[in-house]
Amino acid sequence: MERITIVGMGLIGTSLGMALKNGGTRAQIVGFDIERGVASKAKKRGGLDIVASNLEEAVEGARLVVLATPIPVMKELLSFLSTRLADGCVVTDVGGTKANVIQWADELLPSNVNFVGGHPMAGSERSGPEAGSEALFRGVLYPICPSTKAHPDATKTVADMVEAIGAKPYFMDPYEHDTYVAGVSHLPFLLSVSLVATTSKSPSWREMHKVAASGYRDISRLASGDPLMHLGVCETNRDNIVHWLDECIKQLYETRNMIKSGEMAKVHQLLVNAQDARARWVAGVEPGAAPMVEVSAKDVMNNMFVGNYVGKKVGSLRSDQQDQTHSQQKTKDQKR
C-alpha cells in the first residue's frame, strides 16, 4: 500500500491528514511528532493511520513526505532524512517562506529524491492537533514552488495532494512568493503583534483592556499564533519583511502627521481609498480596473462642516439655524 508520511502533527499536519483521509485517499497516512503524545492525539482526530515511533521508521518506504514542522528545524530535518528516503520519494513542506527551504533541500537531498515546496495559505490562531480540521484547506490558495531540480512528476504529485485536500494549486517562483507573503501575511502578523505589544505594556492597559472590544479582538488575533512558526518565517524572510515594515511605518507616520495637523480632508481621502481598495480585493476585482473614488477636499468640507447634513432636507432650517447661531453668538457676547 502507498504511504504518505507527515512529519509534525500540529494544526497543519493534522488537518492535512484529516483532509486526505476525508478525500478518500487510498494511501496509508503515517504520522510522526517529536513531542510525545501529539501524534496519538492526531490519530484520535482522524489525521493518520499509523503513529511512527521515530523519524526513520516514519519515512520508510514513503512515496510522499510532508514536512509540517516550524521552519527553524527543517534544515536539520532535511539533513537527517537525506540518507533515509526511498528512491523517487517526493518531499514537500508547508512553511510560510519558500526560498530558504528549497535552497536547503537542493543542498542536502540526494538526486533520487525530489523537493517541491508548498504553502497552504490557511491557518488559525489555535495550534496543535486538537485544532485540526478536515475543512481547513477548503478553497484556500496553495502556492507550489518546485525546486528547479524536481521532476515534473513530483510537482504533479504535490499538486494532486493539494487538490485532494480541496485547496487550489498556484505555481510560483519561491523568491516571488516570499516577497508577496511578506506584504500580505508577515506584515499583518507583525502589525497584530505590535498592537498587542504597544497596548499591553502601557501602564494604562490595566484599565484600558476592559474597553477593548471586537475591533481589538480582530486586529490582535494573529498575535495569538504559534511564536515558533512565526519566528521561522521572520528569520527566513528578513529583507522582505524589513521592506514592508519600512513602507508601513512610513504610511503610519504620514497618517499620524495628517491627524496631528488636522488635515481632515487628507485623512478622509485615505480612509475612502482604503475602504475602496479592500472592497475591490474582497470582490475579486483586479486592482486598477477602474479609477479610484476621488473625494475632493471641497466635497468633504461641503458635506460635513458647513452643515449640509442637517441643512439639506429640513425645510427652512438653513436660514432658521443661521439666525439661531447668530442669536447664540449674541448671547455669548453678552455674557462676556
301 binds its own copies (CB under 8 A): no
103 binds its own copies (CB under 8 A): no
Exactly one of 2, 160, 163, 218 binds its own copies (CB under 8 A); that residue is 218
Residue closer to its own copies (CB basis): 163 or 180: 180
202 binds its own copies (CB under 8 A): yes
DSSP-derived pairing of the beta strands 114-118 and 141-146: antiparallel
Find the binding residues for its own copies in span 139-168 (CB under 8 A). Answer: 140-141, 143
Using left for φ > 0, alpha for ψ between -120 and 50, and beta otherwise, residue 172 falls in: beta
Q: What is the CA radius of gyration of the chain?
A: 27
- Nearest CA to 95 among 145, 133, 57? 145
Binding segment (CB under 8 A) for its own copies, from list 22-30, 59-67, 98-106, 303-311: 303-311
Give the strands of the sheet with 28-32, arranged side by side: 50-51, 28-32, 3-7, 64-67, 90-93, 114-118, 141-146, 168-171
207 binds its own copies (CB under 8 A): yes
Binding segment (CB under 8 A) for its own copies, from list 40-48, 146-154, 157-165, 171-179: 171-179
Cell 472590544 -> residue: 213
302 binds its own copies (CB under 8 A): no
DSSP 208-255: HGGG--HHHHHHHGGGGS-HHHHHHHHHHSHHHHHHHHHHHHHHHHHH
190 binds its own copies (CB under 8 A): yes
Exactly one of 312, 319, 326, 330 binds its own copies (CB under 8 A); that residue is 312
Q: Per-residue string for binding with its own copies, 60-89, x by CB under 8 A?
A: ---------xx-xx--xx-xx-xx------
Residues 238, 71 contacting (CB under 8 angstroms): no
309 binds its own copies (CB under 8 A): yes
Residue closer to its own copies (CB basis): 2 or 180: 180
Find the binding residues for its own copies in span 119-138 (CB under 8 A). Answer: 121-123
98 binds its own copies (CB under 8 A): no
Residue closer to its own copies (CB basis): 50 or 80: 80
The nearest distance, CB 26 to its own copies, in angstroms, is 29
Residue closer to its own copies (CB basis): 1 or 211: 211
Pairwise CA distance, residues 236 & 293, whole Å: 38
How many C-beta neighbours within 10 Å does residue 100 have?
Answer: 19
Residue closer to its own copies (CB basis): 27 or 132: 132
Pairwise CA distance, residues 231 & 104, whole Å: 18
Binding segment (CB under 8 A) for its own copies, from list 40-48, 60-68, 98-106, 258-266: 258-266
